[in-house]
Amino acid sequence: EVQLVESGGGLVKPGGSLRLSCVASGFIFDKAWMSWVRQAPGKGLEWVGRVKSDTDGGTTDYAAPVKGRFIISRDDSRNTLYLQMNSLRTDDTAVYYCTTDMKDRAVATAFDHWGQGTPVTVSS
Amino acid sequence: QSALTQPASVSGSPGQSITISCTGTSSDIGGYNYVSWYQQHPGKAPKLMIYDVTKRPSGVSNRFSGSKSGNMASLTISGLQTEDEADYYCSSYATPSHVFGGGTTLTVL
């Protein structure tokens, strides 16, 4: 059974930093492409970014609102995905989910497994 | 990248069928056959219901079906059941990112 368990959320002041973790089990993590998706309170889903597997280049892509502030990384030896969030703003307040990506050749097509999410609140 | 457009709410009675639309552009829905749909119950994580426009993951009821025409995708739920009451989100690949719809609340009357 695929399990994704996020942690690291909490309250942080504007301009601050936070690192989220997502521990994976039940699948071959080092072959998986992984994404972060967030959901602001009472709002819809928003893709944050992705990291590909090392065998597929290990590259990252980010949504425009977080590019240059957020960094996605992975530690395949620990089956763990990370989201380093810097220069946080109040509009980054959301529940952050880690997901596994479905792939079709060189394209990520959907998000098939989701963690339970970890809440991040950016407020003074 | 702008969000995809979904109706805010739809409703139906048990046993009926409903369709939720999702409108995008030629840069997302119209450009790729990579539309997916997610169901989210209150306080829960989203669940993948449809991927690649029409495919259902293992374990998802065949009452759920997807389609696409041009820049618009649709999710149809037939034989509505009370447990189908939830929020539904569409999503599309939009190289190299993904874009979601604003979500549709389904009420089963």
Pairwise CB contact (< 8 Å): A63 & B38? no
Report the pLDDT value the prediction gives residue B96, as an integer from 0 to 100. 84
Chain B: nearest CA to A15, how far in angstroms?
Answer: 25
Rounded to the nearest integer, the mean pLDDT of chain A is: 96
Report yes or no: B24 at the A interface, CB cutoff 8 Å: no
Q: How far apart are CA A55 and CA B58, in angstroms?
A: 27
Q: Is the peptide bond before B96 cis (omega within 30 degrees of 0)?
A: yes
In the predicted model, what is the mean pLDDT of residues A48-63? 95
Note whether B36 contacts A107, CB cutoff 8 Å: no
Percent of chain B at pLDDT above 70? 98
Q: Tell me: the pLDDT tens digits for A12-35? A: 999 999 999 999 999 999 999 999
Range B31-58 average pLDDT = 97
Looking at residue B2, what is its pLDDT?
64
B40 CA to centre of own chain: 11
Nearest C-alpha neighbor of B46 from the set A114, A50, A44, A102: A114
Amino acid in the structure at residue B35? V
Backbone angles phi, psi at B83, to 5 degrees: -75, -5
Q: What is the pLDDT of residues B12-31, one digit of tens each?
A: 999 999 999 999 999 999 99
In the DSSP assignment, the letter for residue A74 is E
B103 contact residues in A (CB cutoff 8 A): 44-45
User: B103–A45: do the CB atoms touch at under 8 Å?
Assistant: yes
Beta bridge partners of A39: A45, A95
- A111 in B contact zone (CB under 8 Å): yes
What pLDDT digit, counting tens, does each position of A35-44 carry?
999 999 999 9
B44 token code pair: 């829960």
Compute the half-sphere exposure of residue B45: CA atoms within 13 Å on the CB side of its CA. Answer: 21
Per-residue pLDDT band at A106 (split at 50, 70, 90): confident
User: Considering chain A, what percentage of its residues have pLDDT values greater than 90?
Assistant: 95
Alpha carbon distance A99, B81 (integer Å):
27
pLDDT of residue A105: 82
N-terminal to C-terminal alpha carbon distance within chain A:
40
Q: How far apart are CA A102 and CA B34, in angstroms?
A: 10
| pLDDT of res. A104 | 86
